[in-house]
Structure 1
């Protein structure tokens, strides 16, 4: 079995678990992960002005720490 180069960052290694799961189980897992990401993303965007990586890149680019939360209205 070839070594998967993304093994350290993947939740389900293509060489191990994915071969033992049925198509329905794989699709159900993908759907659960997707729905979880949508829920977390909606919460994040409601509470914060930038994503975490965007915030870091802005801080490095402009040379100061930008406000992470939304400005109060």
Structure 2
């Protein structure tokens, strides 16, 4: 989530110190669709990593998501 409260997808860039040549300040940034590396300043605690697999509802899942597993009904087989 960026500092204005909107969600963005892209690559994360972390600047340890200010870049005087570009005017970017130290912080965490997400690139935009065009690949600009310092497009959106973000809060680091809101950054998630997409794991590449959808959940059972075809929604994207991210590292750290909480999931609930429900086992299908079990039936016991008894041999005669």
Normalization by structure 2: what TM-score?
0.23
Structure with more of its chain in helix, by fraction: 1
Give 1 or 2 for the bigger CA radius of gyration. Answer: 2
Structure with more of its chain in strand, by fraction: 2
Normalization by structure 1: what TM-score?
0.25
